[in-house]
Amino acid sequence: MSYLEEPEDDKTFEGFVKEKKEKNAIGTIRGFETMFKLFDNFCLSEYQKGMHQIITDIKANPEKRVWSVLKKWIKYQKENGLGSNTIHTRFSLFKKYLSWMDIKLDPNDIENKLTLPTIDKDKKYALKLDDINKIFAVASYDKKVLYLCQISSLARIGELCLLRKRDLDLSTERITVTIRAITTKKKTERTTFFSKEASSLIRAKIKNLSDNDLIFPHSVKLLSNAGTMEQQTLGEYLVKVGLDMKYETSGRFKISTHSFRAYGITKLKRVDPALAYFLAGHKDKVYMESYDRLKDDPEELYKAYVDAEPHLLVLHPKTDDSDEIKKLKEEMQELRSLNERNEEELKQSKDSFDRFDDIMKLVSEGLVTIKPDDKADYFLDTTKLNKFRKAQDEEYNKDHEEYMKKKGGEVNE
Identify the pLDDT of residue 2. 56
Identify the pLDDT of residue 225. 77
pLDDT exceeds cutoff 80 at 146: yes
Q: Indicate whether 141 and 104 sit together in one domain.
A: no
∠ CA(299), CA(303), CA(312), 5° rounding? 135
∠ CA(7), CA(11), CA(13), 5° rounding? 160
Q: Indicate whether 79 and 146 sit together in one domain.
A: no
Which tens digit of pLDDT belongs to each residue from 397-413?
777 777 677 766 544 44
Residue type for position 191:
T
For residue 20, name the pLDDT band (cuts at 50, 70, 90). Answer: confident
∠ CA(162), CA(220), CA(20), 5° rounding? 55
Kindly state whether residue 21 falls inside one of the protein's structural domains: yes
Q: Indicate whether 81 and 105 sit together in one domain.
A: yes
Please say whether the beta carbons of 253 and 89 come within 8 A.
no
Please say whether the beta carbons of 406 and 400 come within 8 A.
no
Identify the pLDDT of residue 178. 96
pLDDT exceeds cutoff 60 at 288: no
C-alpha closest to that of 212 among 172, 167, 176: 167
Q: Indicate whether 137 and 107 sit together in one domain.
A: no
Q: Indicate whether 242 and 189 sit together in one domain.
A: yes
Residue of higher predicted confidence among 280 and 83: 280
Identify the pLDDT of residue 286. 64
C-alpha closest to that of 153 among 307, 315, 309, 318: 309
Kindly state whether residue 285 falls inside one of the protein's structural domains: yes
Residue of higher predicted confidence among 145 and 18: 145
User: What's the mean pLDDT in 122-148?
Assistant: 94
Q: Indicate whether 19 and 87 sit together in one domain.
A: yes
User: What's the mean pLDDT in 273-292?
Assistant: 76
Torsion (CA) 92, 94, 96, 97 in degrees, nearest 10: 170
Which tens digit of pLDDT belongs to each residue from 299-344?
999 999 999 999 999 998 876 555 666 666 677 777 777 777 766 7
Q: Indicate whether 210 and 271 sit together in one domain.
A: yes
Kindly state whether residue 266 falls inside one of the protein's structural domains: yes
User: What total of structural domains would you count in the chain?
Assistant: 3
Residue of higher predicted confidence among 397 and 213: 213
Name, in order, each residue with C-beta under 8 angstroms of 367's C-beta and a sequence gap of 6 or more. 382, 384, 385, 388
Which residue range forms the structural domain that includes residue 243?
Answer: 129-312
* SS3 category, 364: helix
Kindly state whether residue 317 falls inside one of the protein's structural domains: no
Kindly state whether residue 340 falls inside one of the protein's structural domains: no
Which tens digit of pLDDT belongs to each residue from 154-207?
999 999 999 999 999 999 999 999 999 888 887 889 999 999 999 999 998 999
Helix (H) or strand (E) holding 168: strand 168-169
What sign for the dihedral angle of Cα 269, 189, 91, 38? negative
Give the residue from 312, 327, 357 where a domain finishes.
312
Alpha carbons 119 and 413: distance in angstroms, whole number? 105
Q: Indicate whether 108 and 155 sit together in one domain.
A: no
For residue 192, report the phi and psi dihedrals to the nearest 5 degrees. Answer: -145, -170
Kindly state whether residue 27 falls inside one of the protein's structural domains: yes
CATH of the domain at 205: 1.10.443.10
Q: Indicate whether 253 and 147 sit together in one domain.
A: yes
Please say whether the beta carbons of 169 and 178 come within 8 A.
yes
What is the percentage of the chain residues whose pLDDT exceeds 90? 42
Query: CA-CA distances (angstroms) from residue 221 to 132, 182, 184, 225, 379?
Result: 29, 18, 20, 8, 97
Q: Average per-residue pLDDT in the chain? A: 82
Count the Cβ atoms, other than its own, within 10 Å of residue 113. Answer: 14
Chain centroid to CA 49: how far? 50
Q: Indicate whether 71 and 189 sit together in one domain.
A: no
Which tens digit of pLDDT belongs to each residue from 34-45?
899 999 999 999
Q: Indicate whether 279 and 375 sit together in one domain.
A: no
Q: Indicate whether 197 and 272 sit together in one domain.
A: yes
